[in-house]
């Protein structure tokens, strides 16, 4: 049986998105449970072009904080056991869905991910430009999320993408290394996706140098050997640094010579010699870089001119970003942690409390519940539900009744993550029933997060006590049934669910 999958496509609204969706719709093979489009535009001014397609398309708002955060928002909005990721500028061939299904069927029990194969069409009648060669590097890139399928369990085990990587540069290598370190394998599949070369401005090579700051974070997180383990080429950073340093020395020595020329002629001559030598080294380094980029290309006037002026600036851009990464790495490592997950009580918190309810038709969401949950999803924060259901122990409900009500809640409020519920009564002495910590610990385990990083949101003191017993933070959202002493004892009290989520995101 083919494993079911969700397909997540983060997008900033590029025109290429429609070509991707059309190709998916026209293909053959099992459809995804959902095509989750993560609308990551800071201020969406129009709907995404997906309303008339024979695909199960769902649009979720992204946090507009980079591809890692957008992908987290996407995979956490689904439920299927596998999550396939595509970039919004690729074109899957007609057999892509069928090939993906075959890749997932072959996956072993410890296969945490299956990588697709990327093909970059290059001009057949001329040599590729520097930018085209850069994009073509995706063909050999390991774990590129332009076409990657992850087992949901593996994503949950490592917490998904690290949102401290704000650019589409190293977030995929970081995730792959963490998945392997957690004991999973990453296989290479047979499916192929086409990645046309997108248009780019003349200064694209300079803007790409911002990734040098992410390399500093990668070394801090994964050690010196991260490049070899992730299959990332060494790059030119040491040569860039030497060329930039030579340029700085040349300018500094010339400036010092101008100051000393009248007072100390011998020192001025020495500074002139230093300036000339450094300038020669800078010129040699710049010329070598420019030729290395010009020689393989079409050598048109426009390409040569672009390579020349960007090669003058590139060593300084690369070194500047690397130094900025060194300066900021401690701040990035200790960035204030948003909640690892938010665990909600069910009755009285997410839905109106109907005692011992086993009837899905009586489910009524609490005011602002959907809006609060959508904000968490857009922020990429996973959720779960922790709920006492003692009606099962009292014989008033069956486990099937509870599951049907839970299913109805997800129909109304969207996917909520793992459901951890306790069927025991107050006198059964179990370790799961709140105020015991069992449900909180179970939900955190299923999400693959540390309980200490979780927040429990509930409406009574037992929810607060269960959070504290598990080492988690608690936010009380009172209702008429909340006792005054419970409100007084709670460390944090919110007006409603929207206020509770606002507190969590503000921090």
pLDDT tens profile 385-408: 999 999 999 999 999 999 999 999
Marked catalytic residue, from 40, 214, 347, 459: 347
Q: Is 22 a catalytic residue?
A: no
* pLDDT-based confidence at residue 333 (cuts at 50, 70, 90): confident
Domain ranges (residues) in the chain:
5-200, 237-333, 341-506
Distance CA 346, CA 352 (A): 9
- What are the pLDDT digits (tens) for 420-469? 999 999 889 899 999 999 999 999 888 877 788 899 999 999 999 999 99
Query: Within 107-164, where are the H helices?
Result: 130-136, 152-158
Whether pLDDT at 264 is above 80? no
Q: Can you identify the CATH homologous superfamily of domain 5-200?
A: Spore Coat Polysaccharide Biosynthesis Protein SpsA; Chain A (3.90.550.10)
Distance CA 480, CA 46 (A): 41
- What are the pLDDT digits (tens) for 130-149? 999 999 999 999 999 999 99
293's tokens: 């980029």
Token look-up 């991707």 returns: 20
Token look-up 């300018």 returns: 251
Angle of the 265-294 helix axis to the 301-333 helix axis, nearest 10: 110
Token look-up 């008033």 returns: 396
Strand 35-39 and strand 341-344: the pairing is: unpaired
Marked catalytic residue, from 39, 345, 401, 459: 345
Give me the percent of the chain exceeding a pLDDT of 90: 72
pLDDT of residue 263: 65
Other CB atoms within 10 A of residue 277 CB: 14
Q: Is 347 a catalytic residue?
A: yes
- What are the pLDDT digits (tens) for 48-64? 877 778 889 988 878 78
In the three-class reduction of DSSP (H, G, I as helix; E, B as strand; rest coil), residue 10 is classed as: strand
For the domain made up of 341-506, give the CATH fold. Rossmann fold (3.40.50)
């Amino acid at each position: 049986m083919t494993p079911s999958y969700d397909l997540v496509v983060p997008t900033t609204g590029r025109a290429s998105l429609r070509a991707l969706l059309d190709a998916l719709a026209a293909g053959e093979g099992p459809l995804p449970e959902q095509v989750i489009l993560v609308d990551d535009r800071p201020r969406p001014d129009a709907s995404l072009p997906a309303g008339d397609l024979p695909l199960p398309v769902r649009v979720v708002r992204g946090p507009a904080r980079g591809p890692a955060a957008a992908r987290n928002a996407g995979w956490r909005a689904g439920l299927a056991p596998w999550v396939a990721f595509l970039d919004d500028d690729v074109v899957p061939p007609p057999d892509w869905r069928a090939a993906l299904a075959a890749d997932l069927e072959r996956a072993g029990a410890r296969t945490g991910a299956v990588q697709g194969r990327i093909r970059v069409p290059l001009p057949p009648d001329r040599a590729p430009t520097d930018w085209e060669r850069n994009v073509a590097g995706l063909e050999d890139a390991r774990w590129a999320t332009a076409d990657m399928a992850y087992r949901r369990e593996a994503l949950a085990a490592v917490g998904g993408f690290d949102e401290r990587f704000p650019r589409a540069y190293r977030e995929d290598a970081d995730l792959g290394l963490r998945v392997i370190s957690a004991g999973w394998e990453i296989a290479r599949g047979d499916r192929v996706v086409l990645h046309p070369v997108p248009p780019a401005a003349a200064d694209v090579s300079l803007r790409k140098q911002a990734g040098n700051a992410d390399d500093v974070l990668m070394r801090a997180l994964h050690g010196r050997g991260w490049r070899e383990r992730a299959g990332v080429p060494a790059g030119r950073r040491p040569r860039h640094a030497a060329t930039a340093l030579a340029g700085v020395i040349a300018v500094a020595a010339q400036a010092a010579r101008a100051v000393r020329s009248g007072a100390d002629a011998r020192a001025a001559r020495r500074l002139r010699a230093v300036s000339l030598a450094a300038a020669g080294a800078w010129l040699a380094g710049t010329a070598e870089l420019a030729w290395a980029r010009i020689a393989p290309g079409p050598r048109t006037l426009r390409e040569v001119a672009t390579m020349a002026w960007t090669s003058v600036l590139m060593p300084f851009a690369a070194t500047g970003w690397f130094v900025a990464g060194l300066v900021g790495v401690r701040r990035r490592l200790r960035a204030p942690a948003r909640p690892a997950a938010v665990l909600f009580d069910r009755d009285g918190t997410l839905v109106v409390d109907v005692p011992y309810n086993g009837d899905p038709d009586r489910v009524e969401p609490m005011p602002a519940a959907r809006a609060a949950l959508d904000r968490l999803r857009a922020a990429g924060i996973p959720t779960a539900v922790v709920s006492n259901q003692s009606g099962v122990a009292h014989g008033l409900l069956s486990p099937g009744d509870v599951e049907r009500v839970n299913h109805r809640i997800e129909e109304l409020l969207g996917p909520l993550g793992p459901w951890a519920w306790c069927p025991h009564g107050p006198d059964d002495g179990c370790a799961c029933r709140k105020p015991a910590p069992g449900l909180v610990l179970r939900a955190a385990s299923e999400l693959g997060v540390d309980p200490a990083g979780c927040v429990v949101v509930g409406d009574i003191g037992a929810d607060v006590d269960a959070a504290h017993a598990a080492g988690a933070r608690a936010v009380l959202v009172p209702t008429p049934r909340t006792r005054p002493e419970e409100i007084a004892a709670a460390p944090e009290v919110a007006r409603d669910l929207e206020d509770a989520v606002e507190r969590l995101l503000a921090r």
